[in-house]
Amino acid sequence: MKKKVLAITLATIMCMTVLVGCGGGSTTPNTTGNTTTDATTPTTDGGAEFSMIAGTSTPDTHPYVLGMLKIAELVSEKTSGAVTLDVFGNSQLGSERDLIEGLQLGSVQMTCVSTAPLSGFTDMFLVFDLPFIFETTEIARAVLDSEVGDEILASVEAQGLVGLSWFENGFRNVTNSKHPINLPADLKGIKIRTMENPMHMAAFAVMGADPTPMAMGEVFTALQQGTIDGQENPVPIIETNKFDEVQKYIAMTGHLYSPTPVFIAQDYFNALPAEYQEAVKAAAVEAAPYQREQIDIQTESGLVALQERGMEVTYPEKAPFQEATASIYEQSVAEGAAKVSPDIFARVQEVIAANK
């Protein structure tokens, strides 16, 4: 019920915001995740022409939020305050799926999300769901910043989303409350939370785990209550969500890399004057290196913090896990719906080879 009320409230704000674009009032930008003025109330400096709302599913200290705040800062600078962006973390505006739907409905103007929920819109992002496809962060980023990366980012325009740039969430690792994970066999019987993504679930199932899709906002409680035994996420997510309070073991499997596209609602974007469109695009592109740097920083510091707080860390050799999940490639890279395009896969492999 609360989500429905929130959606209605935000839809109302959006309607007022569209009017603001034609008439001059705005919400003042801030970095706390709280709206400080009504969308139709002029600010003391004359007010912004266009006011945007952005949401993420992560805590306010996570690089998702920090990256979106950097966009807010840059877009305000580039438009002399004519375009502003308020950022709401902690799933205040809903889950990642809710945020994507919010862009389509007009209740949210911008977001950054993992690629897994996008499988229902396009098959282009599925290449990133192949386990162990990237060996290093540098190679993964080279793919994002390549021509094929640009093509993938632009593949959801038919669904009302405009891709602005690539943020990231780093490599995903496994935590659990049962025992250390060193081999695929150690996952047998582990009930593990995954995103609602068939390829992710299949990869864990083939290793003997019991994959259980669940919204991010429900994971901590489910771990605490023992509904699930473990979960898999990048270190910054594990640390900022304090999963160490309900998990004992972390295995640095690096089984999946999590790119994070930044989207703006197409209808809203198209309503912006051309110079503001360019400013928003430029701000998102310029914010990407900063956001990725925050991932690097928090991955390093987060792992130290988790260990200091009592988590036991293992560094499994990847070869046994790669062998155990090889069948996912055989099943998934093929022509047809809900499959990884062989052409996209081949082009990604070319970028990977060129950057080894």
Rounded Cα distance between 155 and 138, Å, is 23
The 8-class DSSP code of residue 151 comes to: H
Q: What is the CA radius of gyration of the chain?
A: 20
pLDDT (0 to 100) of residue 91: 93
Same fold? 2-121+147-168+259-288, 172-257+300-354 = yes
Give the end-to-end CA distance of the chain in Å, rounded to a whole number: 50
Q: Which residue has the higher pLDDT, 9 or 199?
A: 199
* Residue 11 pLDDT greater than 80, yes or no: no
Beta carbons of 109 and 70 less than 8 angstroms apart: no
Nearest CA to 109 among 168, 22, 59, 50? 50
The Cα–Cα gap between 42 and 14 comes to 16
Q: Give the residue carrying structure tokens 């197409």.
A: 266
Look at residue 227 in the predicted model and tell me its pLDDT: 98
Strands 249-265 and 161-176: antiparallel
How confident is the model over 180-184, as a mean pLDDT?
Answer: 98
Tell me what pLDDT residue 45 has: 39
For the chain, the average pLDDT equals 89
Check residues 216 and 250 and name the one with the higher pLDDT: 250
Query: What DSSP character marks residue 117?
Result: G
What Cα–Cα distance (Å) separates residue 9 from each residue in 16, 93, 99, 267? 11, 11, 14, 19
pLDDT digits (tens, 9 = 90+) for 121-132: 899 999 999 999
- The type of residue at 231 is Q
81: left (phi over 0), alpha (psi -120 to 50) or beta: left
Q: Residue 30 — very low, low, confident or very high, per pLDDT cuts 50/70/90?
A: very low
Query: Does domain 172-257+300-354 sit in CATH 3.40.50.920?
Result: no
Q: Return the exposure string of 213-252: e unless at least 16 CB atoms fall within 10 Å of the residue's CB, then b.
A: ebbbeebbebbeeeebbbbbbbbbbbbbbebbebbebbbb
> Which token pair is 240?
């900022």
Nearest CA among 141, 102, 73, 146 for reference residue 4? 102
Please report, to the nearest 10 degrees, the dihedral formed by the alpha carbons of residues 94, 99, 105, 108 taken in order.
90
CATH of domain 2-121+147-168+259-288: 3.40.190.170
Confidence band, pLDDT 50/70/90 cuts, at residue 165: very high
Classify each residue of 264-286 as buried b or exposed e, where b means 16 or more C-beta atoms within 10 Å of its C-beta. Answer: bbbbbbeebeeebbebbbbbbbe
Rounded alpha-carbon distances, angstroms, from residue 146 to 143, 150, 353: 5, 6, 13
Return all residues near 168 (Cβ < 8 A) that are at least 6 apart.
140, 141, 144, 257, 258, 259, 260, 291, 292, 295
The pTM score is 0.85
Tracing tokens 């068939």 back to the chain, one arrives at 198
Residues making up the chain, counted from first to last: 356
Rounded Cα gap, residues 213 and 289, in angstroms? 31
Calculate ∠ Cα 165-352-202, nearest 5°: 80
Sketch the domain layout of the chain as residue ranges: 2-121+147-168+259-288, 172-257+300-354
**Cβ neighbours of residue 348 closer than 8 Å, sequence gap 6 or more:** 127, 133, 143, 148
Q: At CA 147, angle to CA 168 and CA 99, rounded to 5?
A: 40
Query: Has residue 254 got a pLDDT over 70?
Result: yes
pLDDT digits (tens, 9 = 90+) for 197-246: 899 999 999 999 999 999 888 999 999 999 999 999 999 999 999 999 99
CB 29 within 8 A of CB 110: no
